[in-house]
């Protein structure tokens, strides 16, 4: 399947920017600057995971496959979830666990309703008709 990568990137970047503005405002209340928003990159090869954060280069990869089928989920869950990983790395650079207490602290502080894993299935499951 061909994806309109520029359109997906524009939509995801706009959604991420809205969340980043909110997060910056919330962290400013405790006198902490989370810095610039990470780059948002659409990845047509991600089919089992919805997204992944790269703390070392401040980048978030998002699944074209899942996003085109679940825009609302990406706006409310996946994008904030991945951005919380970037923020966690800024606040706690020595955190050991990817979804550990530090990440949960950030998620709770920002009142993000997310889970550790998505329930969107995988491309392989969809092709087999597994729900």
The string of pLDDT tens digits covering residues 56-104 is 889 999 999 999 999 999 999 999 999 999 999 999 999 988 899 999 9
The answer to whether residues 87 and 23 touch, using CB atoms and an 8 Å cutoff, is yes
Residues 6+ apart with CB under 8 A from 82: 51, 52, 53, 60, 62
- Please report the pLDDT score of residue 122 as a whole number: 53
Closest CA relative to residue 10, chosen from 33, 51, 41: 41
Query: Considering Cα of 53, then 80, then 17, then 44, what sign does the dihedral take?
Result: positive
DSSP 8-state assignment for residue 8: H
The string of pLDDT tens digits covering residues 87-99 is 999 999 999 888 9
Confidence of residue 123 (pLDDT cuts 50, 70, 90): low
- Please report the pLDDT score of residue 119 as a whole number: 66
- Please report the pLDDT score of residue 98 as a whole number: 87
Q: Domains, the chain, ranges and CATH?
A: 5-128 (3.30.2010)
| Distance from C-alpha of 66 to C-alpha of 57, rounded to nearest angstrom | 23
- Please report the pLDDT score of residue 115 as a whole number: 76
């Amino acid at each position: 399947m061909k994806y309109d990568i520029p359109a997906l990137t524009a939509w995801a970047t706009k959604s991420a920017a809205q969340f980043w503005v909110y997060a910056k405002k919330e962290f400013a209340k405790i006198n902490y600057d989370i810095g610039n928003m990470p780059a948002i990159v659409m990845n047509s090869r991600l089919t089992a995971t919805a997204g992944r954060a790269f703390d070392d280069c401040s980048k978030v990869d998002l699944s074209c496959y899942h996003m085109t089928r679940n825009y609302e989920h990406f706006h409310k869950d996946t994008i904030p979830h991945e951005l919380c990983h970037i923020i966690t790395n800024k606040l706690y650079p020595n955190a050991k666990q990817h979804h550990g207490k530090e990440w949960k602290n950030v998620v709770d502080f920002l009142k993000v309703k997310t889970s550790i894993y998505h329930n969107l299935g995988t491309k392989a499951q969809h092709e087999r008709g597994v729900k």
